[in-house]
Structure 1
Amino acid sequence: MTRAGPRVAAIVLAAGRSSRTAPLHKLLTPDATGLPMIARTLRAITASRAGPVIVVLGHRAAEIQAAASIDRQAENAPRFITAPNHACGLSQTLAAGIRAASAYPAVTGALVCLGDMPLIGTDLIDRMIATFLTHPDRPGVMPVHEGRRGNPVLWSRDLFPALLALTGDQGARPLLRQHETGMARVAAGAEITADFDTPARLADFARCFADG
Protein backbone atom coordinates (compact mmCIF):
# COMPACT_ATOMS: atom_id res chain seq x y z
CA MET A 1 0.00 0.00 0.00
CA THR A 2 1.45 3.37 -1.00
CA ARG A 3 1.59 5.99 1.73
CA ALA A 4 3.16 9.44 1.84
CA GLY A 5 5.04 10.71 4.88
CA PRO A 6 6.31 8.81 7.91
CA ARG A 7 5.33 5.16 8.16
CA VAL A 8 5.15 2.58 10.92
CA ALA A 9 6.07 -0.97 10.02
CA ALA A 10 4.44 -3.98 11.65
CA ILE A 11 6.76 -6.86 12.55
CA VAL A 12 4.93 -10.11 13.24
CA LEU A 13 7.00 -12.65 15.17
CA ALA A 14 6.08 -16.15 13.96
CA ALA A 15 9.31 -18.16 14.22
CA GLY A 16 8.86 -20.09 17.48
CA ARG A 17 8.59 -23.84 17.97
CA SER A 18 5.30 -23.68 19.91
CA SER A 19 6.69 -26.34 22.24
CA ARG A 20 4.09 -25.75 24.98
CA THR A 21 1.27 -26.83 22.66
CA ALA A 22 3.09 -29.77 21.03
CA PRO A 23 2.31 -31.74 18.98
CA LEU A 24 0.01 -28.96 17.76
CA HIS A 25 1.55 -25.74 16.49
CA LYS A 26 -0.55 -22.88 17.82
CA LEU A 27 -0.10 -20.65 14.76
CA LEU A 28 -1.55 -23.37 12.53
CA THR A 29 -4.55 -24.05 14.77
CA PRO A 30 -7.89 -22.95 13.25
CA ASP A 31 -10.52 -20.80 14.94
CA ALA A 32 -14.27 -21.51 14.77
CA THR A 33 -14.35 -20.35 11.14
CA GLY A 34 -11.42 -22.53 10.08
CA LEU A 35 -8.98 -19.61 9.83
CA PRO A 36 -5.50 -20.47 11.17
CA MET A 37 -4.33 -18.37 14.11
CA ILE A 38 -1.54 -16.68 12.16
CA ALA A 39 -4.00 -15.67 9.42
CA ARG A 40 -6.45 -14.35 12.01
CA THR A 41 -3.67 -12.28 13.58
CA LEU A 42 -2.64 -10.89 10.21
CA ARG A 43 -6.21 -10.01 9.22
CA ALA A 44 -6.27 -7.16 11.74
CA ILE A 45 -2.70 -6.03 11.05
CA THR A 46 -2.98 -5.88 7.27
CA ALA A 47 -6.25 -3.94 7.57
CA SER A 48 -4.49 -1.29 9.67
CA ARG A 49 -2.38 1.76 8.85
CA ALA A 50 0.81 -0.24 9.39
CA GLY A 51 3.09 -0.71 6.44
CA PRO A 52 5.11 -2.59 5.50
CA VAL A 53 3.89 -5.70 7.33
CA ILE A 54 6.84 -8.05 7.86
CA VAL A 55 6.25 -11.62 9.06
CA VAL A 56 9.34 -13.25 10.54
CA LEU A 57 9.36 -17.02 10.10
CA GLY A 58 11.61 -19.76 11.47
CA HIS A 59 10.37 -23.14 12.70
CA ARG A 60 8.07 -24.82 10.12
CA ALA A 61 8.38 -21.70 7.99
CA ALA A 62 6.78 -23.06 4.81
CA GLU A 63 3.68 -24.32 6.64
CA ILE A 64 3.20 -21.10 8.56
CA GLN A 65 3.65 -18.95 5.46
CA ALA A 66 1.05 -21.03 3.63
CA ALA A 67 -1.39 -20.70 6.54
CA ALA A 68 -0.72 -16.97 6.81
CA SER A 69 -1.40 -16.46 3.11
CA ILE A 70 -4.93 -17.88 3.20
CA ASP A 71 -6.59 -14.59 4.10
CA ARG A 72 -4.29 -11.76 3.19
CA GLN A 73 -5.37 -8.27 2.15
CA ALA A 74 -4.36 -7.67 -1.47
CA GLU A 75 -3.53 -3.99 -0.88
CA ASN A 76 -1.29 -4.64 2.12
CA ALA A 77 0.12 -8.10 1.54
CA PRO A 78 2.74 -9.06 4.12
CA ARG A 79 6.38 -9.62 3.31
CA PHE A 80 7.74 -12.94 4.61
CA ILE A 81 11.31 -13.35 5.79
CA THR A 82 13.08 -16.12 7.69
CA ALA A 83 15.25 -15.36 10.71
CA PRO A 84 18.48 -17.29 10.11
CA ASN A 85 19.24 -17.57 13.85
CA HIS A 86 15.68 -18.05 15.12
CA ALA A 87 16.72 -21.09 17.17
CA CYS A 88 18.94 -18.78 19.27
CA GLY A 89 15.94 -17.07 20.85
CA LEU A 90 13.25 -14.46 20.42
CA SER A 91 15.77 -11.63 20.29
CA GLN A 92 17.18 -12.95 17.00
CA THR A 93 13.74 -13.25 15.46
CA LEU A 94 13.05 -9.65 16.48
CA ALA A 95 16.41 -8.52 15.09
CA ALA A 96 15.61 -10.02 11.70
CA GLY A 97 12.37 -8.05 11.59
CA ILE A 98 14.03 -4.82 12.68
CA ARG A 99 16.71 -5.19 10.01
CA ALA A 100 14.02 -5.68 7.38
CA ALA A 101 12.06 -2.64 8.59
CA SER A 102 15.25 -0.54 8.64
CA ALA A 103 15.57 -0.98 4.88
CA TYR A 104 12.57 1.35 4.39
CA PRO A 105 13.76 4.98 4.76
CA ALA A 106 10.25 6.31 5.46
CA VAL A 107 9.73 3.94 8.41
CA THR A 108 10.00 5.92 11.64
CA GLY A 109 8.80 3.19 13.98
CA ALA A 110 7.97 -0.49 14.22
CA LEU A 111 4.99 -2.15 15.86
CA VAL A 112 6.18 -5.50 17.19
CA CYS A 113 3.31 -8.00 17.13
CA LEU A 114 3.16 -11.60 18.36
CA GLY A 115 1.74 -14.16 15.97
CA ASP A 116 -0.20 -15.83 18.78
CA MET A 117 -2.27 -12.79 19.77
CA PRO A 118 -5.19 -12.99 17.32
CA LEU A 119 -7.56 -10.96 19.51
CA ILE A 120 -5.66 -7.71 18.85
CA GLY A 121 -7.88 -5.54 16.66
CA THR A 122 -7.24 -3.06 13.88
CA ASP A 123 -8.61 -0.20 15.97
CA LEU A 124 -5.98 -0.63 18.67
CA ILE A 125 -3.19 -0.85 16.11
CA ASP A 126 -4.36 2.31 14.36
CA ARG A 127 -4.68 4.21 17.65
CA MET A 128 -1.15 3.23 18.63
CA ILE A 129 0.21 4.36 15.27
CA ALA A 130 -1.70 7.66 15.45
CA THR A 131 -0.39 8.28 18.96
CA PHE A 132 3.18 7.64 17.88
CA LEU A 133 2.97 9.88 14.82
CA THR A 134 1.56 12.63 17.05
CA HIS A 135 4.40 12.18 19.58
CA PRO A 136 7.43 11.17 17.49
CA ASP A 137 9.80 12.28 20.25
CA ARG A 138 8.69 9.39 22.49
CA PRO A 139 10.64 6.10 22.55
CA GLY A 140 7.44 4.36 21.55
CA VAL A 141 3.88 3.44 22.47
CA MET A 142 2.52 0.65 24.64
CA PRO A 143 -1.05 -0.51 25.30
CA VAL A 144 -2.28 -0.59 28.89
CA HIS A 145 -5.26 -2.37 30.46
CA GLU A 146 -6.10 -1.72 34.12
CA GLY A 147 -2.55 -0.55 34.79
CA ARG A 148 -0.96 -3.56 33.12
CA ARG A 149 1.06 -3.25 29.94
CA GLY A 150 0.82 -5.77 27.11
CA ASN A 151 1.42 -6.37 23.42
CA PRO A 152 1.93 -5.18 20.76
CA VAL A 153 4.58 -2.53 21.50
CA LEU A 154 5.53 0.23 19.07
CA TRP A 155 9.20 1.27 18.99
CA SER A 156 10.76 4.44 17.57
CA ARG A 157 13.39 4.00 14.89
CA ASP A 158 15.81 5.72 17.28
CA LEU A 159 15.78 2.50 19.30
CA PHE A 160 16.33 0.11 16.40
CA PRO A 161 20.08 -0.18 17.24
CA ALA A 162 19.23 -1.11 20.83
CA LEU A 163 16.69 -3.68 19.62
CA LEU A 164 19.31 -5.20 17.34
CA ALA A 165 21.72 -5.51 20.27
CA LEU A 166 19.35 -7.65 22.39
CA THR A 167 20.29 -11.25 23.14
CA GLY A 168 18.60 -14.36 24.53
CA ASP A 169 14.98 -15.48 24.49
CA GLN A 170 13.18 -12.62 26.23
CA GLY A 171 12.68 -10.24 23.35
CA ALA A 172 12.58 -6.52 24.18
CA ARG A 173 11.59 -6.77 27.85
CA PRO A 174 14.87 -5.29 29.17
CA LEU A 175 14.55 -2.34 26.79
CA LEU A 176 10.92 -1.83 27.74
CA ARG A 177 11.82 -1.65 31.43
CA GLN A 178 14.50 0.92 30.59
CA HIS A 179 12.19 3.19 28.56
CA GLU A 180 8.79 2.49 30.10
CA THR A 181 8.42 5.87 31.79
CA GLY A 182 8.90 7.70 28.49
CA MET A 183 6.55 5.55 26.44
CA ALA A 184 3.23 6.96 25.32
CA ARG A 185 0.27 4.89 26.53
CA VAL A 186 -2.92 3.83 24.79
CA ALA A 187 -5.90 2.39 26.67
CA ALA A 188 -6.77 -1.13 25.60
CA GLY A 189 -8.80 -4.16 26.60
CA ALA A 190 -7.79 -7.46 28.12
CA GLU A 191 -6.79 -8.76 24.67
CA ILE A 192 -3.32 -7.23 25.07
CA THR A 193 -2.39 -9.95 27.55
CA ALA A 194 -4.39 -12.82 26.01
CA ASP A 195 -2.27 -15.46 24.33
CA PHE A 196 -2.79 -19.12 23.48
CA ASP A 197 0.23 -20.93 24.86
CA THR A 198 -1.31 -24.13 26.25
CA PRO A 199 -3.51 -26.94 24.87
CA ALA A 200 -6.42 -25.65 26.99
CA ARG A 201 -6.05 -22.17 25.55
CA LEU A 202 -5.89 -23.58 22.03
CA ALA A 203 -9.22 -25.24 22.72
CA ASP A 204 -10.54 -21.81 23.70
CA PHE A 205 -9.24 -20.35 20.44
CA ALA A 206 -11.00 -23.04 18.44
CA ARG A 207 -14.28 -21.55 19.72
CA CYS A 208 -13.35 -17.92 18.92
CA PHE A 209 -14.81 -15.89 16.03
CA ALA A 210 -17.86 -18.13 15.64
CA ASP A 211 -19.62 -15.09 14.14
CA GLY A 212 -16.95 -14.66 11.48
Structure 2
Amino acid sequence: MTQDGPSVAAIVLAAGSSSRTYPMHKLLAPDATGLPMIARTLRAVTASRASPLTVVLGHRAAEIRTAALTDRQAGCTPRFVTAPDHACGLSRTLAAGVRAASAHPGVAGALVCLGDMPLIGTALIDRMIETFLAHPDRPGVMPMHDGRRGNPILWSRALFPALLALTGDQGARHLLHRHETTMLQVAAGPEIAADFDTPARLADFARCFTDG
Protein backbone atom coordinates (compact mmCIF):
# COMPACT_ATOMS: atom_id res chain seq x y z
CA MET A 1 0.00 0.00 0.00
CA THR A 2 1.45 3.35 -1.00
CA GLN A 3 1.36 6.45 1.20
CA ASP A 4 2.66 10.00 1.44
CA GLY A 5 5.78 10.69 3.47
CA PRO A 6 8.22 8.11 4.86
CA SER A 7 7.25 4.48 4.50
CA VAL A 8 8.12 1.20 6.15
CA ALA A 9 9.09 -1.65 3.87
CA ALA A 10 8.20 -5.27 4.51
CA ILE A 11 10.69 -8.10 4.05
CA VAL A 12 9.30 -11.64 4.09
CA LEU A 13 11.98 -14.28 4.57
CA ALA A 14 11.17 -17.41 2.56
CA ALA A 15 14.55 -18.88 1.64
CA GLY A 16 15.00 -21.69 4.15
CA SER A 17 15.21 -25.40 3.36
CA SER A 18 12.41 -26.40 5.77
CA SER A 19 14.43 -29.46 6.74
CA ARG A 20 12.34 -30.19 9.85
CA THR A 21 9.23 -30.84 7.75
CA TYR A 22 10.96 -32.81 4.94
CA PRO A 23 9.77 -33.96 2.44
CA MET A 24 7.03 -31.32 2.70
CA HIS A 25 8.25 -27.74 2.47
CA LYS A 26 6.31 -25.88 5.14
CA LEU A 27 5.78 -22.77 2.99
CA LEU A 28 4.03 -24.89 0.36
CA ALA A 29 1.75 -26.61 2.89
CA PRO A 30 -1.96 -25.72 2.47
CA ASP A 31 -4.32 -24.39 5.12
CA ALA A 32 -7.96 -25.50 5.44
CA THR A 33 -8.88 -23.49 2.34
CA GLY A 34 -6.02 -24.88 0.24
CA LEU A 35 -3.99 -21.65 0.36
CA PRO A 36 -0.23 -22.27 0.70
CA MET A 37 1.37 -21.00 3.88
CA ILE A 38 3.53 -18.41 2.12
CA ALA A 39 0.46 -16.98 0.36
CA ARG A 40 -1.44 -16.86 3.66
CA THR A 41 1.43 -14.98 5.30
CA LEU A 42 1.58 -12.53 2.40
CA ARG A 43 -2.16 -11.85 2.48
CA ALA A 44 -1.84 -9.97 5.76
CA VAL A 45 1.30 -8.12 4.68
CA THR A 46 -0.06 -6.98 1.32
CA ALA A 47 -3.18 -5.61 3.03
CA SER A 48 -1.08 -3.52 5.41
CA ARG A 49 0.55 -0.10 5.18
CA ALA A 50 3.94 -1.65 4.49
CA SER A 51 5.49 -0.57 1.19
CA PRO A 52 7.41 -1.76 -0.72
CA LEU A 53 7.17 -5.51 -0.10
CA THR A 54 10.03 -7.88 -0.87
CA VAL A 55 9.98 -11.68 -0.59
CA VAL A 56 13.42 -13.24 -0.26
CA LEU A 57 13.70 -16.65 -1.92
CA GLY A 58 16.40 -19.32 -1.83
CA HIS A 59 15.70 -23.04 -1.47
CA ARG A 60 13.12 -24.25 -4.02
CA ALA A 61 12.75 -20.64 -5.12
CA ALA A 62 10.59 -21.26 -8.20
CA GLU A 63 8.03 -23.32 -6.27
CA ILE A 64 7.82 -20.82 -3.40
CA ARG A 65 7.38 -17.94 -5.84
CA THR A 66 4.57 -19.75 -7.65
CA ALA A 67 2.83 -20.58 -4.36
CA ALA A 68 3.17 -16.98 -3.19
CA LEU A 69 1.27 -15.75 -6.23
CA THR A 70 -1.74 -18.07 -5.86
CA ASP A 71 -3.79 -15.75 -3.64
CA ARG A 72 -6.35 -13.79 -5.65
CA GLN A 73 -7.11 -11.65 -2.59
CA ALA A 74 -3.56 -10.35 -2.21
CA GLY A 75 -3.43 -6.58 -2.07
CA CYS A 76 -0.37 -6.23 -4.30
CA THR A 77 2.29 -8.26 -6.07
CA PRO A 78 5.53 -8.39 -4.09
CA ARG A 79 8.98 -8.04 -5.50
CA PHE A 80 10.93 -11.29 -5.37
CA VAL A 81 14.68 -11.44 -4.85
CA THR A 82 16.84 -14.53 -4.46
CA ALA A 83 19.58 -14.70 -1.84
CA PRO A 84 22.38 -16.54 -3.68
CA ASP A 85 24.12 -17.32 -0.38
CA HIS A 86 21.02 -18.33 1.57
CA ALA A 87 22.63 -21.64 2.50
CA CYS A 88 25.17 -19.68 4.59
CA GLY A 89 22.50 -18.81 7.12
CA LEU A 90 19.52 -16.64 7.95
CA SER A 91 21.69 -13.53 8.13
CA ARG A 92 22.39 -13.72 4.38
CA THR A 93 18.70 -14.05 3.57
CA LEU A 94 17.98 -11.04 5.76
CA ALA A 95 20.77 -9.07 4.08
CA ALA A 96 19.24 -9.66 0.64
CA GLY A 97 15.95 -8.22 1.85
CA VAL A 98 17.59 -5.25 3.55
CA ARG A 99 19.52 -4.44 0.38
CA ALA A 100 16.25 -4.42 -1.56
CA ALA A 101 14.60 -2.11 0.98
CA SER A 102 17.65 0.18 1.02
CA ALA A 103 17.19 0.89 -2.68
CA HIS A 104 14.12 2.99 -1.83
CA PRO A 105 15.19 6.37 -0.37
CA GLY A 106 11.76 7.04 1.14
CA VAL A 107 11.92 3.94 3.34
CA ALA A 108 12.41 4.85 7.00
CA GLY A 109 12.48 1.28 8.26
CA ALA A 110 11.76 -2.33 7.43
CA LEU A 111 9.41 -4.86 9.00
CA VAL A 112 11.07 -8.28 8.88
CA CYS A 113 8.49 -11.08 8.68
CA LEU A 114 8.99 -14.84 8.69
CA GLY A 115 7.27 -16.77 5.94
CA ASP A 116 6.16 -19.50 8.35
CA MET A 117 4.18 -17.21 10.67
CA PRO A 118 0.83 -16.95 8.84
CA LEU A 119 -1.16 -16.05 11.97
CA ILE A 120 0.33 -12.54 12.06
CA GLY A 121 -2.47 -10.16 11.13
CA THR A 122 -2.67 -6.91 9.24
CA ALA A 123 -3.81 -4.99 12.32
CA LEU A 124 -0.62 -5.83 14.23
CA ILE A 125 1.57 -4.92 11.26
CA ASP A 126 -0.14 -1.55 10.86
CA ARG A 127 0.06 -0.84 14.59
CA MET A 128 3.81 -1.48 14.56
CA ILE A 129 4.28 0.78 11.55
CA GLU A 130 2.18 3.58 13.07
CA THR A 131 4.10 3.33 16.33
CA PHE A 132 7.45 3.58 14.58
CA LEU A 133 6.50 6.46 12.29
CA ALA A 134 5.38 8.41 15.36
CA HIS A 135 8.86 7.90 16.90
CA PRO A 136 11.28 7.46 13.96
CA ASP A 137 14.32 8.23 16.13
CA ARG A 138 13.97 4.88 17.92
CA PRO A 139 15.81 1.77 16.67
CA GLY A 140 12.60 -0.09 15.89
CA VAL A 141 9.51 -1.85 17.22
CA MET A 142 8.97 -5.31 18.68
CA PRO A 143 5.68 -7.02 19.54
CA MET A 144 5.24 -8.30 23.09
CA HIS A 145 3.03 -10.97 24.65
CA ASP A 146 3.15 -12.04 28.29
CA GLY A 147 6.44 -10.19 28.74
CA ARG A 148 8.14 -11.91 25.82
CA ARG A 149 9.04 -10.51 22.44
CA GLY A 150 8.21 -12.22 19.17
CA ASN A 151 8.03 -11.65 15.42
CA PRO A 152 7.85 -9.65 13.21
CA ILE A 153 10.46 -7.05 14.14
CA LEU A 154 10.53 -3.56 12.67
CA TRP A 155 14.01 -2.05 12.21
CA SER A 156 14.93 1.59 11.65
CA ARG A 157 16.86 2.41 8.49
CA ALA A 158 19.66 3.63 10.77
CA LEU A 159 20.34 -0.02 11.59
CA PHE A 160 20.36 -1.27 8.00
CA PRO A 161 24.21 -1.25 7.89
CA ALA A 162 24.35 -3.36 11.06
CA LEU A 163 21.78 -5.78 9.63
CA LEU A 164 23.82 -6.13 6.44
CA ALA A 165 26.93 -6.93 8.48
CA LEU A 166 25.36 -9.89 10.33
CA THR A 167 26.77 -13.37 9.75
CA GLY A 168 25.74 -16.94 10.52
CA ASP A 169 22.34 -18.48 11.09
CA GLN A 170 21.19 -16.44 14.09
CA GLY A 171 19.54 -13.65 12.15
CA ALA A 172 19.40 -10.37 14.07
CA ARG A 173 19.09 -11.91 17.55
CA HIS A 174 22.26 -10.34 18.93
CA LEU A 175 21.47 -6.97 17.41
CA LEU A 176 18.01 -7.09 18.91
CA HIS A 177 19.44 -7.91 22.33
CA ARG A 178 21.76 -4.92 22.04
CA HIS A 179 18.92 -2.49 21.28
CA GLU A 180 15.92 -4.03 23.05
CA THR A 181 15.93 -1.54 25.94
CA THR A 182 15.31 1.34 23.51
CA MET A 183 13.06 -0.49 21.06
CA LEU A 184 9.41 0.52 21.03
CA GLN A 185 6.97 -2.15 22.18
CA VAL A 186 3.52 -3.05 20.89
CA ALA A 187 1.16 -5.38 22.73
CA ALA A 188 0.23 -8.47 20.73
CA GLY A 189 -1.25 -11.93 21.09
CA PRO A 190 0.33 -15.40 21.12
CA GLU A 191 0.52 -15.40 17.33
CA ILE A 192 3.89 -13.60 17.53
CA ALA A 193 5.45 -16.88 18.68
CA ALA A 194 3.38 -19.28 16.58
CA ASP A 195 5.34 -20.81 13.73
CA PHE A 196 4.79 -24.05 11.83
CA ASP A 197 8.09 -25.87 11.52
CA THR A 198 7.35 -29.50 12.41
CA PRO A 199 5.07 -32.12 10.82
CA ALA A 200 2.73 -31.88 13.82
CA ARG A 201 2.48 -28.13 13.45
CA LEU A 202 1.79 -28.49 9.72
CA ALA A 203 -1.12 -30.74 10.65
CA ASP A 204 -2.36 -27.91 12.88
CA PHE A 205 -1.98 -25.42 10.04
CA ALA A 206 -4.07 -27.64 7.75
CA ARG A 207 -6.99 -26.96 10.10
CA CYS A 208 -6.51 -23.16 10.21
CA PHE A 209 -8.60 -20.54 8.38
CA THR A 210 -11.70 -22.66 7.89
CA ASP A 211 -13.61 -19.40 7.40
CA GLY A 212 -11.42 -18.42 4.48
**TM tier relative to shorter chain:** over 0.9
The one-letter code sitting in structure 2 at the alignment partner of 1:118 is: P
TM-score of the pair, normalised by structure 2 = 0.98
Does the residue aligned with 2:137 lie in a helix, a strand or coil? coil
Aligned residues: 212
Opposite residue 95 of structure 2, the aligned amino acid is A
Is contact 2:47-2:74 (8 Å) kept?
A: no
Matched residue type, 2:96: A
1:75 positional shift: 5.1
- Pairing 1:85–2:85 present: yes
Q: Which residue matches 2:149? A: 149
Q: How many angstroms does 1:84 deviate by?
A: 1.1
TM-score, with normalisation over the residues of structure 1?
A: 0.98
Deviations along 1:176-206, one digit per CA (max 9) or x if unpaired, are 0000000000000000000001000000000
Q: Tell me the CA shift for residue 71 of structure 1.
A: 1.0
Query: In structure 2, the residue corresponding to 1:207 is in which secondary structure?
Result: coil
RMSD between aligned residues: 0.9
**Percent identity for Structure 1 against Structure 2:** 81
Cα drift, residue 86 of structure 1? 0.4
Q: Is this contact kept in 1: 2:150–2:193, CA < 8 A?
A: yes
1:36-89 C-alpha deviation (Å, 9 max, x unpaired): 000000000000000001000000000000000011556532100100110100
Equivalent residue of 1:76, what SS?
coil
Bigger share in helix: 1
Contact 1:8/1:111 (CA < 8 Å) preserved in 2? Answer: yes
Counterpart check, 1:126 vs 2:151: no
C-alpha distance in 1 between matches for 2:137 and 2:87: 34
Partner of 1:12: 12
CA deviation string 1:82-106 (max 9, x = no partner): 0011010000000000000000000
Secondary structure (helix, strand or coil) at the match of 1:34 reads coil
Give the ranges of 4+ consecutive aligned residues of structure 1 lying more than 2 Å apart after TM superposition.
72-76
* In 2, Cα distance between equivalents of 1:37 and 1:75: 16
- Corresponding position of 1:98: 98
Query: Structure 2 stretches of 5 or more lacking a match?
Result: none
Tell me by how many angstroms 1:4 deviates: 1.6
Cα distance between partner residues in 1 of 2:139 and 2:150: 16
Residues in 1 aligned to 2:8 and 2:50: alpha-carbon distance in whole angstroms: 5
Which residue number in structure 1 is paired with residue 165 of structure 2?
165
What secondary structure sits across from 1:204 in the alignment? helix
Q: Secondary structure at the match of 2:113?
A: strand
| 2:27 alignment partner in structure 1 | 27
Q: For the residues of structure 2 that align with 1:135 and 1:2, how far apart are their CA atoms?
A: 20
Deviates most, 96-105 or 67-76: 67-76
- 1:74–1:26: structure 2 CA closer, same or farther, 3 Å change rule? closer
Task: List alignment gaps of at least 5 residues for structure 1.
Answer: none
> Is the 1:58–1:84 contact (alpha carbons within 8 Å) kept by the matching residues of 2?
yes
Q: Secondary structure at the match of 1:71?
A: coil
Q: Is the 8 A contact 2:132 2:138 kept in 1?
A: yes
Distance 2:146 2:74 in 1: 36
For the 8 Å contact 1:54–1:78, the answer to whether it is kept is yes
